[in-house]
Structure 1
Amino acid sequence: MTRTTLFRRLTLSSLGLLLLGAVQASEVNLYTTREAGLIKPLLDAYTSKTGIKVNTVFMKDGLPERVAAEGKQSPADLLMAVDVNALVELSEKNVTQAIKSPALEAAIPANLRDAGGHWFALSVRARTLYTAKNITLSSFTYEDLADPKYKGKICIRAGQHAYNTALIAHIIAKDGEAKAEQWLRGLKANLARKPGGGDRDVARDIMAGICDIGLGNSYYVGLMRSGAGGPEQQKWGDAINVVLPSFAKGGTHVNVSGAAVAKYAPNKDNAVKLLEFLVSDEAQALYAKANFEYPVKKGAALDPIIAKLGTLNIDSLQLGDIAKYRKAASLLVDKVGFDN
């Protein structure tokens, strides 16, 4: 082989590697448990703005297990989940990496992101109180749910559902397990029916007169009242009043959707860029419009239906600290026989 031929081959090989790097640099791989249709407008806007293609892999369950099984060969760059417990689990499974980003830290309040930079909230939903139309409450605390004056008047979905175990975990984090148990027993004594169904079923049962009040996430109000769930659900949404409760000493309980950069992300820079885009004013407005959620960034536009619910004052406890009690909350639900 002549020196000229060898030089040409080395040059072509180097060019091929450069081209491969260019291809890799123009994409980012997203593993998500959030339905693709809900985030497509955001991802399309990102690609239009940056030219970076987003390859989406949707999975309903098993995200941490899949990424862990793929190990260093995993193509995942960004991991998206719809619950703080799931975000914490990703970190606990050691499939995420710490990110330091001034843009993320400026946009996301400290209590809505991991202190070590392993996950970041991107949107927020409040655990609200639904009431019958003939009930007007200017304020309400979560502690009030255990007040005997509401005996036989409350509807709620299963205690073991993540929405409710997260709230119970929050109460444990604030007041300790003994007081949380006392509260949960009081809530159980006030139920109008066996816990079950979904949050929209709570609104339906209030309309039917089965109960007077119940808990439901804020974005379901938007889904019902907008007609997105159909005309029957719109009737349910219009049949209730909605109150943003708070803790007696604190603010409103929320859950979040969020994301983390995968531990072995092959396109780490693009993953961080996508994360930073998702907390921009443009993306936060799209989040609010796509699924009636509260933006995580202060000052971002709200959907008009959600804006009418009032000002959301999120409790100051760090979500990661609350999530530490999720197992204790689940055990407490079983201990008091809440779902029986």
Structure 2
Amino acid sequence: MFNLPKAATAISTLIAVAAPAVADEVNIYSYRQPELIKPLTDAFTAETGIDVNVAYLSKGMVERLVAEGDRSPADVVLTVDISRLAAVVAAGVTQPVESAALSANVPTQYQDPDGHWYGLTTRARIVYASKDRVAEGDVTTYEDLADPKWEGRICTRSGTHAYNVALASAVVEHHGEEGAKTWLEGVKNNLARKPQGNDRAQVKAIWAGECDIAIGNTYYMGKMLADDEQKEWANSVNVLFPTFEDSGTHVNISGVAMTKSAPNKENALKLMEFLTSPTAQEIYAKANFEYPIAPGTSADPLVEGWGSFEADPVNLMTLAGHRATALRLIEEVDFDG
């Protein structure tokens, strides 16, 4: 049990102790920052009367859950990126969940085939392009990024970052191992500088004239537009939604899973069902500039204004299965070198 005040939003450490479940609470380990999920937890408590305790972890979630074992106080985990969701499942610290509400609210490609996790929101891995130096239609596919016409014109963060590993995993899915290696070599040859910084730093580099296009996640546009200094960077680029030549736009997710130990299992299921409901989906997506996935839901008007796209329908656990191959290829071509 968490020794926290009512509706606590974050704590730095927790001590796992064997204790009986409390009927009116549910406990979360979260990689998402407290301010991003507080609107959701407040809405859940208002609707159900169940208090939500959140432990924000910057890293080490899997290791912590493994160390705590059956004594863990955590009921559910919230995280971003398919690789992190796959990692908690692979560690054996989650349990499968069956629910008609979850199945109805979460499209098949955004849920674990074995029911260990369910997606909540998506973000697209897109191209930021200079308004001044890149014409409309110059980039339409991910394959285009390896075209020599972009030599010295692309910026990106580290190839080994989880977001880029996920994209490379999608390239492996669509083009095979050799095709993915050729693509990575092509993109590396087109880099304007050594991979560095985060996604927002790439947009700043476009604004500064260091490169013309960059790879990034959609939600960073919203974050930059909300920042007085970074707004100028954001206004210097267009958001382009490339696709794979034979499919759609690569997306990644935020997701939720129930822990194997879950002392408040009934409340944990209620929370999971609430988080995937259309109402909660739109709250969550608006707070994070992401896309809700429940049928009949809409993104925030700001996000919708960036354009529409068809998501790659490949199940994300399939992409997670390519992660080791993708990372090996990234290192073989010395992408960050």
- TM-score by length of structure 1 reads 0.91
One-letter amino acid matched to 2:80: V
Aligned partners of 1:77 and 1:265 also within 8 Å: yes
Partner residue in 2 for 1:285: 282
Number of residues of Structure 1 aligned to a counterpart in Structure 2: 317
One-letter amino acid matched to 2:178: A
Q: What's the secondary structure of 2:230's corresponding residue?
A: helix
Aligned partners of 2:124 and 2:217 also within 8 Å: yes
- Tell me how far apart the structure 1 counterparts of residues 295 and 231 of structure 2 sit (CA, whole Å): 29
Aligned partners of 2:278 and 2:295 also within 8 Å: no
Partner residue in 2 for 1:250: 247
Partner residue in 1 for 2:325: 328
Partner residue in 2 for 1:301: 298
Partner residue in 2 for 1:132: 130
Which of 52, 56, 59 aligns to 2:57? It is 59
Instruction: Map 1:98-247 to 2 at 5 A.
Output: 98-134=96-132, 135-138=134-137, 140-225=140-225, 227=226, 230-247=227-244
Structure holding more helix per residue? 1
Deviation at 1:312, TM superposition (A): 2.7
Unaligned runs of 5+ in 2: 1-18
String of CA shifts for 1:60-113, please: whole Å, max 9, x gaps. 111111111111111111011111111111110010110011111111110111
String of CA shifts for 1:169-216, please: whole Å, max 9, x gaps. 111122211100000000011111111111111111111111111111
- Tell me how far apart the structure 2 counterparts of residues 244 and 182 of structure 1 sit (CA, whole Å): 22
Which of 239, 252, 261 aligns to 1:264? It is 261
Aligned partners of 2:157 and 2:196 also within 8 Å: yes
Which of 31, 34, 38 aligns to 1:33? It is 31
String of CA shifts for 1:134-156, please: whole Å, max 9, x gaps. 32324610010000111111111
One-letter amino acid matched to 1:43: T
Residues 1:338 and 2:335 aligned together: yes
String of CA shifts for 1:278-323, please: whole Å, max 9, x gaps. 1112111111221101112133131122101222311011100101
User: Which portions of structure 1, spanning 4 or more consecutive aligned residues, are displaced by more than 6 angstroms?
Assistant: none
Moved more, 128-137 or 103-112: 128-137
- Tell me how far apart the structure 1 counterparts of residues 65 and 250 of structure 2 sit (CA, whole Å): 30
- Tell me how far apart the structure 1 counterparts of residues 201 and 70 of structure 2 sit (CA, whole Å): 44
Identical-pair percentage: 47
- Tell me how far apart the structure 1 counterparts of residues 243 and 64 of structure 2 sit (CA, whole Å): 37
One-letter amino acid matched to 2:88: L
Q: What's the secondary structure of 1:24's corresponding residue?
A: coil
Aligned partners of 1:244 and 1:309 also within 8 Å: no
Aligned partners of 2:152 and 2:192 also within 8 Å: yes
One-letter amino acid matched to 2:22: Q
Aligned partners of 2:73 and 2:262 also within 8 Å: yes
- Alignment root-mean-square deviation, CA: 1.3
One-letter amino acid matched to 1:109: P
Partner residue in 1 for 2:68: 70
String of CA shifts for 1:5-38, please: whole Å, max 9, x gaps. xxxxxxxxxxxxxxx98x7121111111111111
Deviation at 1:270, TM superposition (A): 0.7
